[in-house]
Structure 1
Amino acid sequence: MTEPPREEPVRPAGPAPEPGPGEVWDPGPGYGRVAPREPRVPDPLAVAVGNASLLGAGYLIAGRRALFWVAAVVTVSLLWLTYSTAETWCELLVVLWWAAVVGHGWWLARRHPTAGPRRGQRLLALALTVPVLAAAGWVRFDAHGVEDEVADARADGDCGAAVAAQDGVAFRHRLVAAPLAARGDAVVEACERLDAAGAYLSSGLTGDLDALETGFRRLGAVLGESGNERTVRATLDRFLGRLPTDDGCVTVTLADWLRKHAPGPGDLTGPASATAARITPRALMDCADGFMGTEDWPDAREHYRRLLDEYPDDTHADAARKGARKAGLAIELDRVTELVAAADGPGSGYCREPAKYSLAPAYRKGRTRAVFVGDTEYTDKLPEAWRTDTAHAALVVCTGEAEAGDVVETCQYRDHNGHIGSVRFNKLAVRVKGYALRTGKLVVDRTVQLGGESCPGVLGYFDALPSRMAVTPSNGDVRDAFGPVVGR
């Protein structure tokens, strides 16, 4: 059996002692070596408290440097994981790690045979751990306060206040209370999406229905996420509060879309439909008045009539009724004017398709003023007092081409060859139809005959002597012929 090596006594460093009488001084092989430090005796409570700081201070107190560095790496990794993911399960891992290092430090220190209370170690552990835990607690308390401010602002529908409160979140909050900070970030992100939706809604105020649809679709997406009801409603209310617009026709377009096409849950369609119903009557009136100003009579009448049909009891109903009548009269006048201008004979324009103008003066015998259309060779010679424009006429007189009428007399003339021949002179027969402009009904249907000068002393003609010629009516003859037509 091999004998174990003997331990040489370790002598203290310094000058060697003087040898006694008769002795030979021998310092031995261990002379000059420094005595090793006694192993640190840990206090289990101090080690556990030191490790509670998550700084690995307990391992340093126990003299375990390797464990200190391992604990530091794990702690930093877990904190970074929590910061980057902001998930609650990461915080649970940190708590479990905290409990593990505290328990492990206590167990490790208890294994030392001489472990026991050490006041200095406990004071050191408390000096390291208490500030760390106090700071972490204060930061989490502050993070909860910020979260409450953000939540209150969102509950009030105030995105601006929510964003301002979340601006108070710093790196320390995201490191120590990452999930709390992340919830505030989610609110800010929802508010940013609502801002974008609001921008689309603002573009829709110009009549851009595609932008309006996009804005409502984005509102619906945010509303689908729990907790955003008030902020979505606030965004919607801001948009609806800008209605009606300055352009009545644009407002009508927007109101129609809001009532029929606004997508999303009832939280969106209800207020939108209510606003549409509120603004539509006035918008219809404004739009119709605008069309009246540009003389777009059909569109004006359409909007007046729609107001009367959909909102018969509205305060604008009387004005709309008057406007519809005025627009209708303007449409009639435009139609009559167009037909009169197109009438170049009995079979065209107004003469073929008579129409009424309800505001025209009533046709009565007396001093009726008329519009003469068709062949106006002779009617152009009538007095100005008999004629007027379409807007003030009571009668539209359609005249055809003059034909041979009754024979007035027969006269003898010598032709170019010296032969004598007879020439009959006829009155001018003109077919006349008169329509009462107020009703568009036929009130005159006769053939008038124009008398005039016959058998002139000198007869002008071409080629052979004609057998029949028309009389030459004077302005008086024209008046006499057409006077009964217009009641003169």
Structure 2
Amino acid sequence: MDESPLAVPEPAPPAPRPHDPLAVALGNASLLGAGYLLLRRRGLAVLAVAVTVVLVSRLVSTADPAYEVAVLLWWAAAIAHGWFLARGEAGRDGGRGAVRRQRLVALGVTLPVLLAVGLLRFDASRVGDSVAGARERGDCAKVMSAQDGVWFGHRMADAPLAARGDEFVEDCRRLETAGGQLTTGLTGDTASLKGGFDTLASILAQPGNEKTVETTLTRFLRGLPAKDPCATVAVTDWLRERKRSHDVLDRSAATARRTAPAALVACGDDFMERSDWTSAQAHYRRLLDRYPDDGLAAKARAGAKKATLSIELANVRDLLAPGTGAQPAYCSKPAKYSGAKPLRKGINRALFYGGETYGDDHSDKLPGSWKAAGATDAVLVVCMGEDTFGNSVQTCPYRPRGSGSTTYVTFRKVAVPVKVYELRTGKLVSHRTLQIGGGSCPAVITYFSGSSGPGPAMNRYVSASTSDVRSAFRPLVNR
């Protein structure tokens, strides 16, 4: 019996691994290339992960909804591509058990991913609702605290929603800056006021910011009136002149109208205390011009009158101050002081200013009851010019002792040109030349040789007594 060699049978090829289209599609739905790994297409799996990473990173960094759409399209494309790629190899089906295992593996990868994305989107929506609600209430502090709960997972799951929250936070930060500018503006810094209102206007131009802007504006308006009334005036003046925008910012005008009158009066009072009467007067008059029916109008009117009197008094005092000449400037440039008493019957006190001929302006011989101590108690201002010879009284002969010819000397009254002004009105009430009489022809006269020739001067003043001077001046002060 012939023996023939036994052929060793070749090993059977391994059973082909089943490729279930549904499992591959489910695996690719994870966007992690799990379906491609089931197909043993590692290159495609790596590429799928790379594309996913690029799209998600761009979505997170830009928050552009277009990238969100791109991620969805990529997700649908990966699922469809895995499905059709697996169907092309569907003939190598190895049995129901293997298919079930592939589906379970795919679900085990994809389901947690989808569940995580869903939960993150739900949580991001919850945070977004909190941010939006706080914004609608005008509560920027709550807007920022709620947005602080947003993290990378929220941005990856719902980037546009997270980005909107960031925009709300940025608006609130700008409102904080505007609030700081407005607070600085309460010191009277109108440049800061303008900057703050410009910022509020730009934020208000974006829909949905009405309440947050109103809250910031309300906080500023509650700061009026400021501690410094003059700063308050500067603020209310600026608000009054601000061009109307026909929105919530126009509320500031009503606050300015309500606050300005008291601030104008208080600021005027402050200037009065500092003796800045011109500024005080301007503030009082501003109230009367703008708010004539306000309850403080009477006080402002009294303040304006007081300031006017103070201005007039200061001016009169300057004009009455001693100058380079014998007479003060008032005598050539009179001014009124409305606070002075009017002319009346009887004695009217006067301020006397003379030409001081030979050092005598005659006022030293006038009684104290005729003379005022200053502008506040004076009724008249009497300006006396230089003494000159008046009417002759008597001519008498004189002969020098020893020998010499006789000289006739004429004694004349003292002529004093005067201008009398009523201080209350600054008007000239009398312009005349007084004639002061006195004694004449004394037994002996003295003279200096050579002053008027070899003998005494031919004209001499009478010797005026106190009563003579008073008699001449009495008609000026006694009405």
Distance 1:243 1:35, change over 3 A: farther
User: 1:226 is matched with which residue: 207, 216, 231?
Assistant: 207
Distance 1:269 1:133, change over 3 A: closer
Partner residue, 2:127: 146
- Within a 5 Å distance, the mapping from 1:178-193 to structure 2 comes to 178-193=159-174
Partner residue, 2:70: 93
Matched letter for residue 205 of structure 1: L
Partner residue, 2:85: 108
User: 1:425 is matched with which residue: 411, 425, 442?
Assistant: 411
**Structure 2 SS opposite 1:483:** helix
**Structure 2 SS opposite 1:447:** strand
Cα deviations by residue, 1:49-89 (Å, 9 ceiling, x for unpaired): 22221112122223332222221122112111211221112
Partner residue, 2:432: 446
Matched letter for residue 395 of structure 2: T
Partner residue, 1:245: 226
Contact 2:327 2:355 in 1 (8 A): no
Contact 1:262 1:268 in 2 (8 A): no
User: 2:347 is matched with which residue: 348, 364, 367?
Assistant: 367
Residue 459 of structure 1, CA deviation: 1.0
Report whether the alignment pairs 1:294 with 2:281. Answer: no
Question: 2: CA distance between counterparts of 1:83 and 1:62?
Answer: 31
User: 2:466 is matched with which residue: 468, 475, 479?
Assistant: 475
**Structure 1 SS opposite 2:477:** coil
User: 1:337 is matched with which residue: 287, 305, 317?
Assistant: 317
- Within a 5 Å distance, the mapping from 1:128-277 to structure 2 comes to 128-262=109-243, 265-267=245-247, 269-277=249-257
Distance 1:86 1:448, change over 3 A: same
Matched letter for residue 446 of structure 2: L
Report whether the alignment pairs 1:382 with 2:359. Answer: no
- Which one is further off, 289-298 or 159-168? 289-298
Residue 138 of structure 1, CA deviation: 0.7
Contact 1:346 1:399 in 2 (8 A): no
Residue 484 of structure 1, CA deviation: 2.9
Identity across aligned pairs (percent)?
50
| Structure 1 residue ranges without an equivalent (≥5) | 1-19
Report whether the alignment pairs 1:407 with 2:397. Answer: no
Question: 2: CA distance between counterparts of 1:340 and 1:366?
Answer: 25
Partner residue, 1:40: 17
Partner residue, 1:435: 421
Matched letter for residue 419 of structure 2: K
Residue 405 of structure 1, CA deviation: 1.6
Partner residue, 1:53: 30
| Structure 2 residue ranges without an equivalent (≥5) | none
Residue 22 of structure 1, CA deviation: 6.0
Question: 2: CA distance between counterparts of 1:284 and 1:102?
Answer: 76
Contact 1:431 1:448 in 2 (8 A): yes
Task: Tell me which structure has the larger Cα radius of gyration.
Answer: 1
- Which one is further off, 459-468 or 446-455? 446-455
Matched letter for residue 236 of structure 2: A
Equivalences, count: 464
- Which one is further off, 432-441 or 134-143? 432-441
Report whether the alignment pairs 1:75 with 2:52. Answer: yes
Cα deviations by residue, 1:284-328 (Å, 9 ceiling, x for unpaired): 111211221122223222222221222122111111121122122
Q: TM-score, normalised by structure 2?
A: 0.88
Residue 35 of structure 1, CA deviation: 6.8
**Structure 2 SS opposite 1:42:** coil
Residue 330 of structure 1, CA deviation: 1.9
Cα deviations by residue, 1:129-167 (Å, 9 ceiling, x for unpaired): 211111111111111111111111111112221111111
Contact 2:365 2:466 in 1 (8 A): yes
Partner residue, 2:477: 486
Distance 1:160 1:21, change over 3 A: farther
Contact 2:413 2:435 in 1 (8 A): yes
Partner residue, 1:394: 379
